[in-house]
């Protein structure tokens, strides 16, 4: 029996604008740690002591080192089937927006061209100095201490969004706009607990559009969506690709 109901497959074939929202579960099959659940990052460290502006100003070296360890883990990781199918979806649907909470850039490595990175990237740094400096830049080399801003000399911090901080405004506006305009919304590998990202499916839900969740566990969204699949992202997405391409009976 297929995971994917026939009627929904037909809706997907007719769909003009699809949105995919991803979370850490999409990178789990690449060996990148998730945040919550058994073995998750927030089981080992307190996020308030590692992922806040106050944590960085209190102990920049410790916070930088923790992010550096994550950069090293991610640098060795390769995209998995889930990333690959999501990159393929960009060409399949006439309109497509990928919104990610992930900071590992594995979507880009798999070929996704314009992911909206709601929580920034491990591969960016941001100046902690005077806000008017505003320096954000891509930084790919691995270094053990927080570097200094080439413009103003203040410390550079990881270019990720921390607890208590706002999301990059334009990125968020584009994500909301895509959610408002979509015919179908996928929520893949996210615990759907962190706002505002977790609110994005609300608009398509209120418009009666199909919202499809793929997650190995139940989430607060599971009971409210059109279809909630208990599956690894790679498996469910590979099966979807084959069905949409007509390689498997629906
Ligand atoms: P979480 O770690 O909260 O959730 C990962 C989700 O992926 C869980 O619901 C798992 O059940 C699911 N999962 C695990 N393996 C999977 C697989 N192979 N296939 C499908 N699902 C799988 O990660 P996020 O929801 O991304 O923010 O967390 C949201 C934000 O909270 C993160 O961006 C981060 C974190 O604190 C910041 O650092 C600001």
132 plus 152 within the same structural domain = yes
What CA–CA distance (Å, rounded) separates 99 from 119?
10
Per-residue pLDDT at 67: 95
60-70 mean pLDDT: 95
- Tell me the CA–centroid distance for residue 102 and ligand 1, in Å: 9
The average confidence (pLDDT) of the chain is: 94
Nearest Cα neighbor of 89 from 65, 115, 55 is 115
| Residue of the CA atom closest to atom 15 of ligand 1 | 25
24 plus 95 within the same structural domain = yes
Residue 102 lies in a domain: yes
| Residue of the CA atom closest to atom 13 of ligand 1 | 25
14 plus 128 within the same structural domain = no
Q: Which comes out higher in pLDDT, residue 143 or 59?
A: 59
Span 163-190, pLDDT tens digits: 999 999 999 999 999 999 999 999 999 9
Residue 142 lies in a domain: yes
Q: Identify the CATH number of the domain in which residue 85 sits.
A: 3.40.50.1220
Residue 41 lies in a domain: no
Least confidently predicted of 19-33, 125-139, 151-165, 221-235: 125-139
205 plus 233 within the same structural domain = yes
96 plus 217 within the same structural domain = yes
Per-residue pLDDT at 247: 64
3-state secondary structure at position 195: coil
89 plus 204 within the same structural domain = yes
100 plus 215 within the same structural domain = yes
Q: Which comes out higher in pLDDT, residue 196 or 1?
A: 196
67 plus 188 within the same structural domain = no
Instruction: Identify whether 119 is a catalytic site residue.
Output: yes
Ligand 1 pocket: which of 35, 51, 79, 235 to mutate (most atoms <8 Å of CB)?
35
Domain count of the fold of the chain: 2
Neighbours of 173 (CB within 10 A): 12
Backbone angles phi, psi at 21, to 5 degrees: -110, 125
Residue 250 lies in a domain: no
The arrangement of strands across the sheet holding 184-188 comes to 116-117, 95-100, 17-22, 184-188, 211-215, 227-230
114 plus 136 within the same structural domain = no
What CA–CA distance (Å, rounded) separates 1 from 9?
14
- Tell me the CA–centroid distance for residue 23 and ligand 1, in Å: 5
72-97 mean pLDDT: 97
Q: Are 24 and 42 in contact (CB under 8 A)?
A: no
Residue 40 lies in a domain: no
Separation in Å, CA 207 to CA 18, 25, 181, 184? 14, 27, 10, 10
Span 195-242, pLDDT tens digits: 999 999 999 999 999 999 999 999 999 999 999 999 999 999 999 999
Residues contacting ligand 1 via CB (< 6 Å): 23-25, 28-29, 34-37, 40, 47, 51, 101, 119, 161, 189-191, 193-194, 214-217, 219, 232-233
Q: Domain range holding 56?
A: 47-76+124-160
Per-residue pLDDT at 64: 95
- Tell me the CA–centroid distance for residue 26 and ligand 1, in Å: 8
89 plus 208 within the same structural domain = yes
Percent of the chain topping pLDDT 90:
85
44-49 mean pLDDT: 93
115 plus 178 within the same structural domain = yes
128 plus 113 within the same structural domain = no
For 227, half-sphere exposure in the C-beta direction (CA atoms, 13 angstrom radius) is 21
Q: Identify the CATH number of the domain in which residue 148 sits.
A: 3.30.1600.10
pTM metric for this prediction: 0.96
What CA–CA distance (Å, rounded) separates 84 from 80?
6
Q: Which atom of ligand 1 sits closest to the CA of residue 217?
A: 11
Q: Are 101 and 116 in contact (CB under 8 A)?
A: no
């Amino acid at each position: 029996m297929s995971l994917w109901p026939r009627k929904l497959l037909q809706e997907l074939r007719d769909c003009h604008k699809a949105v995919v929202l991803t979370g850490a579960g999409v990178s789990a099959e690449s060996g990148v740690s998730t945040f919550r659940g058994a073995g998750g990052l927030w089981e080992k460290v307190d996020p308030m002591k590692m992922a806040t502006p106050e944590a960085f100003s209190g102990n920049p070296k410790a916070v930088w080192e923790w992010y550096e360890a994550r950069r090293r883990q991610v640098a060795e990781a390769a995209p998995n089937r889930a990333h690959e199918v999501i990159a393929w979806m960009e060409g399949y649907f006439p309109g497509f927006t990928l919104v990610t909470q992930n900071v590992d850039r594995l979507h880009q490595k798999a070929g996704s061209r314009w992911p909206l990175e709601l929580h920034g990237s491990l591969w960016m740094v941001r100046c902690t100095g005077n806000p008017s400096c505003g320096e954000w830049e891509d930084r790919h080399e691995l270094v053990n201490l927080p570097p200094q801003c080439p413009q103003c000399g203040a410390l550079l911090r990881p270019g990720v969004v921390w607890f208590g901080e706002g999301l990059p405004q334009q990125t968020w506006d584009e994500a909301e706009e895509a959610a408002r305009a979509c015919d179908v919304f996928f929520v893949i590998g996210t615990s759907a607990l962190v706002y505002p990202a977790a609110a994005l499916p609300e608009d398509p839900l209120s418009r009666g559009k199909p919202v499809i969740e793929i997650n190995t566990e139940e989430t607060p969204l599971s009971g409210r969506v059109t279809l909630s699949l208990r599956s690894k992202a790679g498996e469910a997405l590979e099966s979807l690709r084959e069905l949409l391409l007509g390689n498997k009976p629906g």
